[in-house]
Amino acid sequence: MTMDFSLKSKVALVTGGSRGIGKAAALGLAQAGADVALASRKLPDLEKVAEEIKGLGKKSLAVAAHVGRLEEINNLVDRVKAEFGRIDILVNNAGTNPVMDPALEISERAWDSIMNLNLKGLFFLSQAVARVMKERGGGAIINVSSVEGITPGILPVYAISKAGVIMATKVMAREWAKYNIRVNAVAPGLTRTGFSVALWSNPEILEVAMSRTPMRRIAEPEEMVGAIIYLASDASSYVTGQTFAIDGGTTI
């Protein structure tokens, strides 16, 4: 048996696909052979990525959606299914962290905002897509967690939400394995994206992060793509419920 990393004839849906890790994942999946649907709140940026994917010779669909809202989740899945007829791969990348307050000062509003998108939205989108995958005989779901979900840092509610993503990954993997749906997660370390710019552009925070990272640098979004393609492909056909830390050794 040879390992098959090809995603030819597969259809992928990537949330938060307009920039950062989501954009890198979408382009990587297309390069591996998949047609790619993209979801994000801002359509113009999303459409630019869709054009890049089409330039690679693959089909793409851009859908404006807030995946923290159930109505928009259902509309998104319906749009993708209508366009492609199937969803083989889901990359749950959309996330938020609007505050850096310590746990003693977190407001209910901030808590709800973070949990709504990072955990609730991820779960219910996975549920909706898993129903489509079940009809088709299986699929692969890749959740984007964080090293903060493994070892807490300076973002308390974000860390709690990402730890929840790791457990959601295990729960879904155990329950949906009988439908040939594999569910895994990647846990990026500090990565050079617009999402995390407030962290890596702060010299003090960056110094602390580097002191905890044996490789002594932050990640680039493209460095997450290899693991995502592996988990999306048949090369990982016996892997489910796992979280892959891509962190330069931070969690050693």
CATH number at residue 190: 3.40.50.720
Q: Is 252 part of a structural domain of the chain?
A: no
Q: Order of strands across the sheet with 89-92?
A: 60-64, 35-40, 11-15, 89-92, 139-144, 181-188, 243-246
Q: Is 1 part of a structural domain of the chain?
A: no
Q: How confident is the model at residue 181 (pLDDT cuts 50, 70, 90)?
A: very high
Domain count, the chain: 1
Residue at token pair 């993997």:
173
Catalytic pick among 158, 179, 230, 238: 158
For helices 20-31 and 225-232, angle between their N-to-C axes, nearest 10 degrees: 50
User: Is there a catalytic annotation at residue 158?
Assistant: yes
Characterize the bridge pairing of strands 89-92 and 60-64: unpaired
Instruction: Record the tokens describing residue 198, joined without a space.
Output: 């407030």
Higher per-residue confidence, 99 vs 49 = 49
**If you average pLDDT over residues 4-29, what whole number do you get?**
97
Residues 138-176 pLDDT 10s? 999 999 999 999 999 889 999 999 999 999 999 999 999
Q: How confident is the model at residue 194 (pLDDT cuts 50, 70, 90)?
A: confident
Residues 89-148 pLDDT 10s? 999 999 998 788 899 999 999 999 999 999 999 999 999 999 999 999 999 999 999 999
In which domain, by residue range, is 178 found? 11-246
CB 24 within 8 A of CB 52: no
Q: Is 86 part of a structural domain of the chain?
A: yes
